[in-house]
Amino acid sequence: MVGGLGHLAQDGESPQGSARIMSGAMRPLLSLSLAVLLVGCRPLVPLVAHSDPLNTAGSPPDVVVLAMSGRCGPPCKAPRDSWDYLSSRGTLDAVASAIAAQGYTVQVAGYADNALESFQPLKVSTPQRGYAALTKDFARMKSAWFGPSPQGKSHAPRLVLLGHSHGSVWLHYLAQTNPDVPFALQIDLDGICASWNLDHGQDLAAHPVEQAGQPKAIDACDLRRVGKGQMRGKDIVWPNVAINLEVQSKRLPSGLSDSGGFYINYIFEVTPNMRPDGSTDGVERYISWREDHSAVTYPNSDAMKWVLRRTAEIAAGWKLQDRRSGGV
């Protein structure tokens, strides 16, 4: 702006007159810029999932899908500004719909990457629910639906976990600390441990989420013995998880898919998931060569198309099992 004023003054206008001319000419542009700035600063209004919400006070559905989103994207301050984008983007609904298409009733719940039960990010307009809320919902679900029915038969729903980035870390920890609960399917979208301790150390120290005798949540990204080697908790598929679908985002620059993203990926997972004994039984991996860490989460991504196709096939397999056993 200073250079612009100097140039106008050399053409016969005083700096003050030039400023007045500049002010009049730039007023519409400044007004537009201010409006854009205000919209940019306005908190996002996240969409809610359209699928039936988790309701542990009622009868159990056939399937429950629990989704945990990951770390907020810049500009933000994590974990304060993390939010449940897997619900807002329709990713949670897409997984629920793939299962419901097989004739199952499905309930869902989505959570944000934060240790606290509830918090208000600056980035979105509504309070978000973190891992402590998930553990409370899970405890209520276990109490209401995972005990024996009056006929002596289990009436527990199948459980599906859907996590992205840090969300995958939380959900692997959930499976690890609930070994008595079977999980029919766990879906990992580019699980990442970067900044785990930095983001969650303070809150987990002040508000621990683990029960007595359980591993600490802050250690969820620590290395553990797996077979003959070591792996982080996010890469370990625990024995109570029947099937694991893992997505990893691109490593090299590439063209983009319909879900958009960046030409160059900024962070990505490279370690394939394994069982504690080092095997890969029931573990499947898809590397999305056109999609970055965020792009893999959108329902129209190559990654999610693979996830949804495999989820539908897995749910169809459940249906065959149920028919053979005289169930749904």
Q: Within a domain: residue 12?
A: no
Closest CA to 55 of 68, 64, 46, 47: 64
Reported pTM = 0.86
Q: Helices (H) and strands (E) in the chain — how many of each?
A: 8, 11
Q: Within a domain: residue 28?
A: no
Q: Within a domain: residue 3?
A: no
Given a cut of 50, whether residue 35 has pLDDT beyond it is no
Q: How many Cα atoms occupy the beta-carbon half-sphere of 295 within 13 Å?
A: 25
pLDDT of residue 303: 98
Q: Within a domain: residue 255?
A: yes
pLDDT in tens, 275-301: 999 999 999 999 999 999 999 999 999
Q: Within a domain: residue 44?
A: no
Q: Within a domain: residue 136?
A: yes
Six-digit token string for 187: 């879906």
Residue-number span of the structural domain to which 77 is assigned: 50-324
First to last CA, the chain: 71
Rounded CA separation 248/293 (Å): 8
Rounded CA separation 43/125 (Å): 5
Domain count, the chain: 1
Per-position DSSP letters for 161-216, written without gaps between them: EEEETHHHHHHHHHHHT-TTS-EEEEEEES---TTHHHHHHHHHHHS--PPTTSPP
Given a cut of 60, whether residue 19 has pLDDT beyond it is no
Model confidence at 6, pLDDT cuts 50, 70, 90, reads very low
Average pLDDT, the chain: 87
pLDDT of residue 92: 98
CATH (domain of 91): 3.40.50
Q: Within a domain: residue 13?
A: no
> If you compute the radius of gyration of the chain from its CA atoms, what whole number of angstroms results?
24
Q: Within a domain: residue 103?
A: yes
Phi, psi of 78 (to 5 degrees): -90, 145
Q: Which residues fall within 8 angstroms of residue 33, CB to CB, at 6 or more apart?
A: none
Model confidence at 42, pLDDT cuts 50, 70, 90, reads confident
